A and B are shown apart, each in its own frame.
Chain A
Amino acid sequence: MSDFWNPYAALTAQSRRLHGLIAVVGALCIWGALAMSGTISSNKLPAPWTVMHAMSYLAWDNGHSILLSATLWSAGRVAVASVLVMVLGIPAGILMGSSPRINAVLSPLVDPFRSAPIVALLPIVVMWFGIDELMKIVFLFAGSVVYLVPMVRDAVLAVPQSYWISARDLGATPFECVTKVIVPMAMPRIADAIIVGVSVMWTYITVAEYVNAREGLGQMIQNSKRFSAMDQVFAGIIVIIALALVTYQVMSWIKRRLYSWETLV
């Protein structure tokens, strides 16, 4: 206990997992107790076991998995929008970070949107891009790219100038400095930007799928709400959180494998 207030005394992995497990089980117990006590009606707060039951119904019912097809649709949209964000956003961020002039031009067009109410843009996106797939992809893209571009730009700017000076001295052209020095050195933080960008999409997926809902996890939740199936709404939310968590963990693992030098410098 002497290390309770010491931020540098890391717990062992086992101890950390145990603490987390106790917290989650504790929260589930409180939730269960609240639901059983009857102080909150089951329309508002379904019991954990009801949610589990709804989850299993959604996962497999009558030879058909609503959950699987909904997940595939949502994940597919996130994947397409992610590719778009990376293909357009990363080069934009690198250009802004590498040239103060480009940054001066694009920064006032990009930075304010970081704090813009993206959800409020939904009606405009619908008006411009219709109500089909294109609109959903564009909305996810817009919600994510406003975070990604400034983060990539800042990743580039965070590369210490000494590497640039040294490369110039060795004979690199300014363009070679960008391609052979700045970008490779910024890659770990660019990877962080991608991780944030993709994670943000999972938070916007339900909004995107509320419009003209036919498939996807957002539609599933919307549909359940319409029939007041609160247990299925909870199940849907839990699935989205789990997917976002898994995506995050997998991407972080890949990043650590690719850029193991970053934390050891």
Chain B
Amino acid sequence: MNAVAAAPAQPSAISLSLQNITQDFPSPSGGAPNRVIHDISLSFNHAGINMLLGPSGCGKSTLLHMMGGVRPFGVVTPTSGTVMIDGKRCDGPSEDVVMVFQQYANRPDMTVWENVYFPFTLKLWRNKVTRAEAKERTEAMLQAVGLADKRDLFPYQVSGGQNQRVALARALVLRPRILLMDEPFGALDAQTREEMQLLLANLYRNNPCLVMFVTHDVTEALILGDRVIVFATQPAIVSDDFTIATPRPRDAAWLRSTEAVALQDRVLSRLHDASAGKGSLRVSY
């Protein structure tokens, strides 16, 4: 790991809170609106990896999109309730918040290096970061995600895992205070997913921020989370919310420990009671 990336940063004060969030989507058949999220209130007051765990299609991605990033088109989100970031109402993209998508939106016409450098070509960041610093940060970030030797290759010339590293680097190079991850490793094979989870844990240790990580993989939630929030589906409500004190990286042996097995059983039985037959979770191991 590179010296710049390895220097542990001081976590800055941050607060994110969801207040009575409810979301309805218009029904396609024109009937009563479809409630996907029902009265969720959560708050996050310090750096940490927060896992939003729930069955596919439970509305957890919709919730994530409300916290920043880009709101969906054609629908007002949230229907009621407020998202507050640092005590201010959040209703659009913010420079403190960066999102990593499952479909890594890497530009096919740009090299790995250009993809990570891309945000610095935008007016918003040009006014904040000098060209020299932008180049330095890009270089350090590529080192940190292990892509220094791939810098001149195009996305189609590197693997899916490496593409997701590019997407992660492009988000982290902006040093966001809040990092939103929407099932970022969902499309990767098991081994690559493990590598990426370890990478994220390492990157986080060096640059702690508030990470909101959406997943439907129980194992992933247990391996990465400081706090795990479990959602039941249709509509999404919080069905469980617990913290894991065991330090990362957590290995396969820990996953077989009494603590981990108990947590896994707890999540699965809760979800089974709350939303049997409505969606499914994945257990990787």
**A contact set with B: CB distance below 8 Å:** 162-163, 165-173, 176, 180-181, 184-185, 187, 259, 261-262, 264-265
Contact = CB atoms under 8 A, between A and B. Distances in A.
B277 to A, nearest CB: 31
Contact of B95 (A165, A171, A265): A171
Interface in B14-73: 68-70
B218 to A, nearest CB: 27
13 contacts: A163-B105, A167-B105, A168-B93, A170-B170, A170-B174, A171-B93, A171-B122, A171-B124, A171-B174, A172-B122, A176-B122, A261-B156, A264-B156
A59 to B, nearest CB: 43
Given A170-B119, A170-B174, A265-B156, A185 B95 contact: no
B8 to A, nearest CB: 25
A261 B118 contact: no
Closest 10 CB pairs of A and B: A166-B105, A171-B124, A265-B108, A170-B119, A169-B69, A264-B156, A162-B105, A168-B70, A165-B70, A261-B108
A29 B98 CA distance: 68
Nearest to A184: B109
B103 interface: yes
Nearest to A163: B105
* Chain B interface, >50% SS class: loop
Contacts of A171: 93, 95, 119, 122, 124-125, 174
A169 B109 contact: no
Contacts of B121: 180
A176 B126 CA distance: 13
A261 B119 contact: no
Interface centre among B105, B108, B155 (most CB of A within 10 A): B105
B204 interface: no
Given A162-B105, A170-B122, 6 more contacts: A165-B69, A165-B105, A167-B122, A168-B93, A180-B122, A184-B107
Contacts of A181: 107
A165 B108 CA distance: 16
Contacts of B107: 163, 181, 184-185
A169 B69 CA distance: 5
A261 B110 CA distance: 9
